[in-house]
Amino acid sequence: MYPSTDDALAFACRMPKAELHLHIEGSLEPGLAFALARRNGITLPYADEAALAAAYDFDSLQSFLDLYYACADVLRTPQDFSDLMLAYLERAAADHIVHAEIFFDPQTHTARGIPIGDVIEGLDAGIEEGRARWGIDASLILCFLRHLSEDDGFTTLAEAEPWLDRIAGFGLDSSEKGHPPAKFERLFARCRALGKPVVAHAGEEGPPAYVVEALDLLGAARIDHGVRSVEDPALVERLVREAVPLTVCPLSNLRLCVFPEMTRHTLPQLLAAGAKVTVNSDDPAYFGGYLNDNIRALQAAFHFDKAAWYRIARNSFEASFASEAQKATWIASLDACLVECS
Partner touching 137 among Zn ion, ligand ADE, none, CB below 5 to 8 Å by kind = none
Rule CB under 5 A: choose which of 29, 137, 213, 282 binds Zn ion. Answer: 282
Residues in contact with 114: Cβ distance below 8 Å, sequence separation at least 6, in sequence order: 75, 76
Rule CB under 6 A: choose which of 24, 61, 191, 214 binds ligand ADE. Answer: 61
Residue 118 vs 282, nearer CB to Zn ion: 282
Q: Describe the crossing of helices 7-14 and 306-318 by its angle, rounded to 10 degrees.
A: 20
Q: In whole angstroms, what is the distance from residue 223 CA to residue 199 CA?
A: 6
Q: Cβ of 47: how many Cβ atoms within 10 Å?
A: 9
Residue 144, helix vs strand vs coil = strand
- What is the per-residue binding string for Zn ion in 52-91, x denoting contact by CB under 5 A? ----------------------------------------
Q: Cβ of 180: how many Cβ atoms within 10 Å?
A: 18
Residue 13 vs 61, nearer CB to Zn ion: 61
Strands (E), the chain: 17-23, 97-104, 137-145, 167-173, 199-202, 222-225, 245-248, 276-279
Interaction of residue 282 with ligand ADE, rule CB under 6 A: yes
Tell me the closest approach of the beta carbon of residue 268 to Zn ion, in angstroms.
21
Residue 173 vs 213, nearer CB to Zn ion: 173
Pick the catalytic residue: 19, 25, 29, 204?
204
Partner touching 253 among Zn ion, ligand ADE, none, CB below 5 to 8 Å by kind = none
Interaction of residue 293 with ligand ADE, rule CB under 6 A: no
Residue 204 catalytic?
A: yes
Residue 326, helix vs strand vs coil = helix
Interaction of residue 204 with ligand ADE, rule CB under 6 A: yes
Per the CB < 8 A criterion, the answer to whether 124 and 84 are in contact is no
Q: Which residue is nearest to ligand ADE (CB)?
A: 173
Stretch that binds Zn ion, among 5-13, 119-127, 144-152, 280-288 (CB under 5 A): 280-288
Strand partners, 99: 18, 137
Per the CB < 8 A criterion, the answer to whether 153 and 187 are in contact is yes
Positions in the binding site for ligand ADE (CB under 6 A): 23, 26, 61, 68, 173-174, 201, 204, 252, 282-283
The residues carrying an active-site annotation are 204
